Structure 1
Amino acid sequence: MAYSDDHIALAAEYALGTLDADERAQVETMMSVDKDFTVMVHAWEHKLAVLNQMVGSVEPRPELWDRIRTAVGHSEPQAPLMLPEPPAPLVAASVEELAAVVDNANVIRLTANARRWRTVASFTSAIAAVLVAMIGVGLVLPDVLPDRMRPRPRTQIVEAKALPAPAPSAQYVAVLQKEGGSPAFILTVDGATRSFTVRKVGASAEPGKSFELWLISDKLPRPRSLGVIGGSDFTSRPVLASYDSDMVKAATYAVTVEQAGGSPDGSPHSAPVFSGMLIEAVPPASAPAR
């Protein structure tokens, strides 16, 4: 059912504990016969309970109770105020005087209502301030709050987007062999990174000897070592990245037989036994297919 502003204010002040004895008795009587009003009172109690959770209890000092007892003991009951009986002319009050009395009663009732709503508004503002403070504490220092008031962690599922596959780079291949002979090594070079891989096909080093790979170019004063070819089937290195791309594609690649572990001084000590040049095996993605 719909309740007036006075009923709502009574429920709020009952939850706050600011009513006098007569008003509390009135509210409790209404609660005993009106379930909806009881629900409204309990709703206010729930809203205002947060104030109790944020404020700790304080035990008064013993001397305070002593002062209260002393003050009560010295207080004397006051005699009831006796008003004189109104004179006879007052009984026959005019209509104007009665209207003035009624107006004063209305003013008193409106003043009480205004005081009541100011009290409710003040506590509502206090609740809002407490809630804002709790939200701030929950974000910065969640461990300070009780367990039931801490914000629950939320899990956000982010859909992973597939990244575009990198465009394939050009691939170059050289068959290293004796003139007219069968392939001994196959050299592949990645056009983007200029790293190379040597695959052993039909060559085998003599005991105490090592195969060493060389880059030979007319732009260089002498052959440059690309390292010893290992004993496994594949040997990979990134050393070509330090050379110009055009030089890498146009150079001659040769293999010599050196002492175990390779040339000690960075120069070849025998004539090339296998050699070859790069050819484009896979074009880059931007190049048209042939």
Structure 2
Amino acid sequence: MIPTDPQDRDILAAEYVLGTLDARAAAELDAALPGDAALRAAIREWEARLAPLMVLAAPEAPPPDLWDRIERALPGAPRPAPAPKRRGWLDLWRGWAIGASAVAAGLAVVLVTRPAPEPPRLMTVLLTQRDQPAWVVEADPSGRLHLASVTPRRLEEGRAMQLWSLAPGETAPTSLGLIPPEGRLTVNTGGVRPEPGMLIEISLEPPGGSPTGRPTGPIIFIGRLTAAGSS
């Protein structure tokens, strides 16, 4: 049954978007949506709120043998080949020795040629005063910062938004430039390399940016870089 309490309905909408409802509850909500405009609006709000966080999930390829396993599990799939005849102990020892040598050689090649693990992606989501996602910031391995607006913002005439970073231990932020009207910006941070705990700020400034090299207007968005997937 669809609850009537606003808070319970909001939680239900969030669980629906997250996909954590069981099949019966999801089907019941699907049936109620055509006649419940408020519930549809709550679902749209949660979709907009959670969509920016999708970039935190690193893509993962399925196992290479997935389709083979699915085909073998289907009705009418061919049976596996019969097990080979049992060999004598001498054959087993010979096979083990050859196999162990091959594994050792292969392991040596892997250890030598395996690339170094990539550093974790650093990200943050800058929120509005109502805790709604407004900006997504990501630092790539080369040290560049990518800023993207979740919802376009219109500024009053004579104002501009300026991006800043503040590394841990520093007392003054570093300007990363003005944010274009389209709300997307990629910058090279130069000598200030992104790191966990770095603050990312957006301030309101005059059209040409801060005249002092420091924020002169209010800080309207702020977030802290963390490794993607960390708690």
User: TM-score band, normalised by the shorter chain?
Assistant: 0.3 to 0.5
The alignment's TM-score, normalised by the length of structure 1, stands at 0.36
The alignment's TM-score, normalised by the length of structure 2, stands at 0.44
Larger radius of gyration: 1
